[in-house]
A and B are shown apart, each in its own frame.
Chain A
């Protein structure tokens, strides 16, 4: 079964001095988020950007894939805390994504956790959609 998710954006003016707004998304979970080129390429000033939304998409997708992989091996996590950092080079594009995860996973050693994290990084749908990013790294640590 296919699932569609939609976002609507309005833009006014040119790139450098214009401004945009994410008006609405399918779920209604967020909306009316302002975006602009200066906020995207310099100081954000509280505004989101395509790269921040990609960081959010990738962190959410990776966390679900990792919880699934761990559960399949009999080690469902109590908690995963994931951070995704997207690096954007204006004029070139997204050049790297760094995933960091700290997990509370009963009965699992550090190597096995790193292995499961690497699998999740390879297999989550957002990773596959962004496979052309030159460098996607993952660093997994067990929280005590």
Chain B
């Protein structure tokens, strides 16, 4: 399979405290989304941030990995819901660092119990390129539950 390139562009004006930027995706999936320091570390007020974009990337990457892992185990999922929460924290010296990305998954799938699903979710995270990268410097956690009880519905 050939290599794949994806591109995004940002325009930033002014200094970091009072300036602002706008972000666009080359595919056109999103265009001109505004962002700023204040909305990154305080209330978002409708503005995205690097950490929110990372959370979206991680959730999408993990959802695909989990779909693949379940299908390989003979358990194709009907429906998966994945939430990723990325936490940015201030560290010594006043700089900021991404300290964790927490993955929560709810799966509608038959033929597996919750312990089995949790094992497959952990394997899916290990197979997701972003989990592996983030784990080098921050905590990645995975919790998977079955939708509608312990045997699925």
Of all chain B residues, which has the CB nearest A67? B16
Which residues of A lie under 8 Å from residue B25 when comparing CB positions?
48, 52-53, 55-56
Whether B16 and A129, one on each chain, are in contact in the complex, defined by CB atoms closer than 8 angstroms, is no
Within 8 A of B (CB), among A55-96: 55-61, 63-68, 70-71, 76-95
Using A25-B48, A71-B15, A129-B137 as known contacts, say yes or no to A51 and B6 having CB atoms under 8 A apart. yes
Which residues of A lie under 8 Å from residue B33 when comparing CB positions?
29-30
Which residues of A lie under 8 Å from residue B16 when comparing CB positions?
64-65, 67-68, 71
Give 1 or 0 for each of B52-70: 1 = CB within 8 Å of chain A CB: 1111111111011011101
B115 at the interface (CB under 8 A from A): no
Whether B63 and A9, one on each chain, are in contact in the complex, defined by CB atoms closer than 8 angstroms, is yes
Using A1-B90, A35-B60 as known contacts, say yes or no to A78 and B13 having CB atoms under 8 A apart. yes
Which residues of B lie under 8 Å from residue A126 when comparing CB positions?
50-51, 54, 98
Give 1 or 0 for each of B1-22: 1 = CB within 8 Å of chain A CB: 1011111111111111101010
CB of A140, distance to nearest CB on chain B (Å): 13
Whether B133 and A129, one on each chain, are in contact in the complex, defined by CB atoms closer than 8 angstroms, is yes
Interface range on chain A (Cβ under 8 Å from partner): 35 or more
CB of A38, distance to nearest CB on chain B (Å): 11
Which residues of B lie under 8 Å from residue A85 when comparing CB positions?
5-7
Within 8 A of A (CB), among B13-42: 13-17, 19, 21, 23, 25-30, 33-35, 37, 39-42
Query: Other than the known A10-B81, A14-B77, A129-B138, what 7 A-B pairs have Cβ atoms closer than 8 Å?
Result: A2-B87, A63-B21, A94-B129, A126-B51, A128-B137, A129-B133, A132-B137
Q: Which residues of B contact A (CB under 8 A)?
A: 1, 3-17, 19, 21, 23, 25-30, 33-35, 37, 39-42, 44-61, 63-64, 66-68, 70-71, 76-90, 95-99, 129-130, 132-134, 136-138
Could you jot down 26 A-B contacts, CB within 8 Å? A4-B85, A5-B51, A9-B56, A11-B64, A12-B77, A12-B79, A15-B67, A27-B39, A27-B47, A33-B56, A41-B1, A45-B27, A48-B27, A50-B57, A50-B58, A53-B25, A55-B25, A57-B53, A66-B12, A76-B14, A77-B13, A77-B14, A83-B9, A84-B9, A88-B6, A93-B132
Q: Which residues of A contact B (CB under 8 A)?
A: 1-15, 18, 20, 22, 25-30, 33, 35, 37, 40-42, 44-61, 63-68, 70-71, 76-95, 123-126, 128-133
